[in-house]
Amino acid sequence: MSAVTGWRIAALALLAAATIALNVRAQEPLSWRHGILEAKSDAGIIMMVTNGFAARQGLKLEIVQFKSDVTGLQALLSGAVDSFDSGPNVPMVAAARGADIKFIGCPWPGMPYGIFVRHDIGGVADLKGKTIAISAPGATPDVVARALLAKYDIPATEVQFANLGGDLDRFKSVVAGVADAAVVTSEYVPIAAQEGIKLLVRGSDILPNNMRFCMTSSAKVLAAKPENAIRFLAAEMTAWHYALSHRAEALALTREVTGAKPDDPRPAYVFDDALRSGGADPDLSLPIDKLQWMQDKLLADGTLARAIDITTVIDAGPRTKALERVGR
């Protein structure tokens, strides 16, 4: 065999190896890291995407849980996650301060929060001088509590706000007497009475246009991973549609994720309430009117120092392409 022939064979071998490597890499799923608030009784809806829906979009999806909107947003801005489920308040305030924030879809535009209190509190006026458990300042529980006080002309200085972690932590703080009231999701309605707790006011009665959470990302991530983002939203859309039409599977997943016992009424209550109220939106719409309303409330109570153009913190492109991909 001549030297030239040997060189050609070696070159062809290298080309074949390179082609195989490229094909293997092309077949590898794209990746995405998504943050959610600590899993609770709606986990079967929110985490249904992990039951093969992401994989069918060719996406390797990792779910990361956080205690509050603030810590999740910090993870997004630091690059630790690619997107995050968050109440719109905290990212909106961050965007007004120059943070790279983009709303990409809102799967739960309803408002399933409430103010739960001990039975010795007869009305809102009785909250004067009491301790109210919230999460981080500026997050949805904080906004709900302050809106309630404002509606009843109670100065915020006449109560004590306590940042006591996630929903379960805040609920337990009232049960234990550490706090007198707590803002938590309505999943605790069916077990409140047996714990000596009652629902004082529903969040939707105070802030009817306030949204529970939207998905946020950043312009940097969306520019670097455009295809990943489209696949992620397509997977979420199909998963939410499936979850909301398959009650038994959603409840089973909730119990698997949270460790809830079969006789725990909370998963079923949350699921049925989401359908009854129409609080969940599997098409992940981007309601600009509600985002604008929320900004106006933040400006009115002084949480937001200056207004921003809401359209500048929305990127509807990935959602539009995801809708096309899933045929909706």
Q: pLDDT band at residue 216, thresholds of 50, 70 and 90?
A: very high
Spell out the SS3 assignment of the chain. Answer: CCHHHHHHHHHHHHHHHHHHHHHHHHHCCEEEEEEEECCCCCHHHHCHHHCCHHHHCCEEEEEEEECCHHHHHHHHHHCCCCEEEECCHHHHHHHHCCCCCEEEEEEECCCCEEEEEECCCCCHHHHCCCEEEECCCCCHHHHHHHHHHHHCCCCHHHCEEEECCCHHHHHHHHHCCCCCEEEEEHHHHHHHHHHCEEEEEEHHHHCCCCCCEEEEECHHHHHHCHHHHHHHHHHHHHHHHHHHHCHHHHHHHHHHHHCCCCCCCHHHHHHHHHHHHCCCCCCCCCCHHHHHHHHHHHHHCCCCCCCCCHHHHECCHHHHHHHHHCCC
* pLDDT at 284 (0 to 100): 98
* 36, 174, 213 from 289: Cα distances, Å: 24, 35, 15
Rounded to a whole number of angstroms, the distance between the first and last alpha carbons of the chain is 61
User: Is residue 22's pLDDT more than 50?
Assistant: no
* pLDDT at 6 (0 to 100): 52
pLDDT for 120-129, tens place per residue? 999 999 999 9
User: Is residue 81's pLDDT more than 70?
Assistant: yes
Tell me which CATH code domain 26-110+211-325 carries: 3.40.190.10
- Domain assignments of the chain as residue spans, ordered by start: 26-110+211-325, 113-206
In 3D space, the residue among 180, 19, 46 whose CA is nearest the CA of residue 107 turns out to be 46
Q: pLDDT band at residue 27, thresholds of 50, 70 and 90?
A: low
* 17, 88, 231, 309, 327 from 234: Cα distances, Å: 34, 21, 5, 27, 10
Q: pLDDT band at residue 10, thresholds of 50, 70 and 90?
A: very low
Q: pLDDT band at residue 8, thresholds of 50, 70 and 90?
A: low
Q: Are strands 160-163 and 197-202 parallel, antiparallel or unpaired?
A: unpaired
Q: In what order do the strands lie in the sheet with 113-118?
A: 160-163, 131-134, 181-185, 113-118, 197-202
Lowest-confidence segment of 257-261, 268-272, 300-304 by average pLDDT: 300-304
* Whether this model's pTM surpasses 0.75: yes
For the chain, percent of residues with pLDDT exceeding 90: 79
Tell me what the pLDDT averaged over the chain comes to: 90
A 10 A CB-CB count for 266 gives 20
What's the CATH fold of domain 113-206? Answer: D-Maltodextrin-Binding Protein; domain 2 (3.40.190)
pLDDT for 152-196, tens place per residue? 999 999 999 999 988 999 999 999 999 999 999 999 999 999 999
* Alpha-carbon radius of gyration of the chain: 23
